[in-house]
Homo-oligomer: A and B are copies of this chain.
Amino acid sequence: MFIGAQVSLYPMTSQFVEVITAGLDALTPYKDDLRIETDDMSTLMVGAPEPLLDAIRDLFAASAKRPEHVTMHVTLSRGCPGEPDDPSCRCEVLERAQDETLAERQALAAQAVENAVVTGVGIDVQFSLYVMGSGNHMDEIYGCIDFLKSSGTFLESKNFCTRLRGDAGAVFETLRQAFLRFGPAEGHVTIDLTASANSPSLA
């Protein structure tokens, strides 16, 4: 299994280089657990979902603590058949999920969000979950939407995506659970997500 993300941070300020550089500092504690490579469009992070989503959360929360409007785009992927197997991506949640029913996975996901860390940073997210190579992909999507609606972070359904709102801790835990517990455990699943903080449209 290969698990990772392409992550891009977009600060809506003329000092954007400074904000991006400060945000990337938040990744330092994760450098032993993740492979991190930055180019001109995005930062690749490869590794297990525990450090991976924690790192993405901390990157965004650090930037969102500043006053400027900032957004982030993340493409999360697990099980892409075109990527090599990588032992650093091993994930017990996925291994156990193979023997769990949809209802069991929904309950475990809800529990994880309840136990999420609190960062004190409020954020907005919209995201799409994609389940590839399976005839019943919409069953898993609808099962995930049921979980989202009772997660405490659900804001609204939109065309093509779902809006979440809440503390960055609960929101990124919701995303991790959606990513890991829905769609076949050994299958190819991706999430396309946009996070936003300090938007003047909400002022």
Q: Which residues of A are in contact with B by a Cβ distance under 8 Å?
A: 2, 4-6, 8, 10-17, 39-42, 44, 46, 69, 71, 73, 75, 77, 80-83, 124, 126, 128, 130-135, 137-138, 141-142, 158-161, 163, 188, 190, 192, 194, 196, 199-202
| B17 with A200: CB separation less than 8 A | yes
Query: Are A13 and B12 neighbours in the complex by a CB distance under 8 Å?
Result: yes
Q: Which residues of B contact A160 (CB under 8 A)?
A: 4-6, 75, 77, 80, 83, 190
Contact A135 B138 (CB under 8 A): no
Give the residue name and chain of the B residue nearest to A202 (CB). B40
Given A16-B12, A73-B73, do A6 and B159 touch, yes or no (CB 8 Å)? yes
The verdict on A138 contacting B82 (CB below 8 Å), with A12-B12, A46-B159 known, is yes
